[in-house]
Amino acid sequence: MQLPSDQAASGRTLGSEELANLTEVIESGTLTSTKGHFVKDLERDFAATMGSAAAIACASGSAAIHLAIAAIDPEPGDEIITTPITDIGGITPILFQGAIPVFADVDPITLNVTAETIAPHISERTRAIIVTHLFGNPVDMNEIMELADSEGIPVIEDCAQAFCASDHGRNVGTIGAIGCFSFQQGKHMTAGEGGIVITDNAQYARRMRLFVDKAWGYGDTNPDHYFLALNYRMTELQGAVLVAQLKKLAANIEARRRAAHRFVDGLDGVLGLTLPTERPNTEHVYWRIAVQVDETVIAGGVSALAQTLKELDIPAGPRYIQKPAFDCEVIRDQKTFGTSGWPFTLARPEAVAYDRDRYPGSYDGLAQVLVFPLNERYEDAHIDAVVEAVAKAVAELAIV
């Protein structure tokens, strides 16, 4: 059975609504968000949907993280605690702003950071904590906010995979100081590329509004380029698509949740698999379905299971990313600005010590995770085909 793909029309809800908005933009001749209304509409509607005071659209999810770091405005060598198991676009903006990414380990099952893994990394130089709600599963925000508030450290939420995921009734992205989202092709809503940040903090909102547009003080009595910034603006073409996509978001999330629950119910009790669960009072929005594979029960573990599934025409990715971020050249070999290694040259040795034994959850979690693609166009029959193939493959590989 051909499964719908989020890289093409089969797995996306792009249609006449997006086309109508795009036609309006093209016919208007105004493709820049500085003059058009779609990006402004998107910002207003997105903030309202999430329940936050302000939203600022930008060019990508990486740009959204960069906006958040620029709002915090760290001094060179200040530290920002984050996760090694995420898209690198969630990490490199820290370095562009002259700060040091300090990696907290993750829980080996959820691959999410926890208050317990973050706490040992807090130092006098910690300026922010970034939490990533990986695969759409909210991190435990109560315990993390308690820790961060007690230290007076702002929390940035990377929600690129977690649109409308919630923890105790609140949407992720509105619990910490700033929430960051990506509209890249494979996310919950898309314009191919794009990003947005949300915040209730007026000062952060102001700095991010400036940072997205060369820090020029539009509308001020004596405008100037106030500080170092780039052009990270979203175009009206992206805004037009995203205004239409946002109206479909709730239904798309419902479809993903229904499909994921059918997957979990279908494989309930299969030995050797740890299926995704939802902590009490949270809603997981299933960007992907991440399953842990026990190699003492399933011969050959993740790779053998993925290979057997491939032969059955079912896609499943072993490891979510090849390796923890600190094992990538940019960080491991400090390939940053020329040959300087800056800003790592400013780091405390302790902050950049990536010894394997400090990160058991990251290594174990990556070695055991099998990631099943998912999108809003999965129907019951698609999930049933996946479930049947997984059950068959596990039975073949079972160590009895």
Ligand X SMILES: *Cc1c(COP(=O)(O)O)cnc(C)c1O
Q: What's the min distance (Å) between Cβ of 339 and ligand X?
A: 27
**Cα 308-310-316 angle, rounded to 5 deg:** 100
Please tell me whether residue 138 binds ligand X under the rule CB under 6 A.
no
Please tell me whether residue 62 binds ligand X under the rule CB under 6 A.
yes
**Tokens representing 259?**
């499909």
Max Cα-Cα span within the chain: 76
* CB nearer ligand X, residue 260 or residue 325: 325
* CB nearer ligand X, residue 100 or residue 134: 134
Please tell me whether residue 176 binds ligand X under the rule CB under 6 A.
no
Q: What's the min distance (Å) between Cβ of 18 and ligand X?
A: 18
Among 60, 92, 114, 308, binds ligand X (CB under 6 A): 60
Among 92, 161, 174, 252, binds ligand X (CB under 6 A): 161
Please tell me whether residue 84 binds ligand X under the rule CB under 6 A.
no
The Cα–Cα gap between 49 and 14 comes to: 20
- The window from 57-65, 66-74, 204-212, 301-309 that contacts ligand X (CB under 6 A) reads 57-65
Rounded-to-10 torsion of CA 263, 269, 270, 273: 80
Please tell me whether residue 190 binds ligand X under the rule CB under 6 A.
no
Cβ atoms of 90 and 320 within 8 Å: the answer is no
Please tell me whether residue 157 binds ligand X under the rule CB under 6 A.
no
Does 247 qualify as catalytic in the annotation? no
The Cα–Cα gap between 353 and 341 comes to: 15
Sign of CA dihedral 304, 310, 311, 313: positive
Q: What's the min distance (Å) between Cβ of 48 and ligand X?
A: 22
Please tell me whether residue 235 binds ligand X under the rule CB under 6 A.
no
Which of the residues 187, 247, 310, 323 is marked catalytic? 187
DSSP class per residue in 146-169: HHHHHHT--EEEE-TT-TT-EETT
The Cα–Cα gap between 52 and 398 comes to: 49
Among 110, 132, 137, 252, binds ligand X (CB under 6 A): 132
Among 11, 89, 301, 361, binds ligand X (CB under 6 A): 89
Q: What's the min distance (Å) between Cβ of 88 and ligand X?
A: 8
* CB nearer ligand X, residue 18 or residue 158: 158
Residue 127 has φ and ψ, to the nearest 5°, of -105, -20
Amino acid at 368: Q
Please tell me whether residue 11 binds ligand X under the rule CB under 6 A.
no
Amino acid at 269: G
Q: What's the min distance (Å) between Cβ of 288 and ligand X?
A: 10
Please tell me whether residue 182 binds ligand X under the rule CB under 6 A.
yes
Please tell me whether residue 252 binds ligand X under the rule CB under 6 A.
no
Could you tell me which of 23, 94, 62, 234 has the C-alpha nearest to residue 160? 62
Could you count the other beta carbons within 10 Å of the beta carbon of residue 126?
21
The Cα–Cα gap between 273 and 275 comes to: 6
- Strands (E) in 240-355, as ranges, are 273-274, 282-283, 289-293, 317-318
Among 184, 235, 334, 362, binds ligand X (CB under 6 A): 184
Which residues, other chains included, contact 24 with Cβ-Cβ below 8 Å and sequence gap of 6+?
A: 240
> How many residues contact ligand X, by CB under 6 A?
14
Q: What's the min distance (Å) between Cβ of 223 and ligand X?
A: 29
* CB nearer ligand X, residue 177 or residue 393: 177
Active site residues: 187
Residues contributing to the site for ligand X (CB under 6 A): 60-62, 86-87, 89-90, 132, 158, 160-161, 182, 184, 195
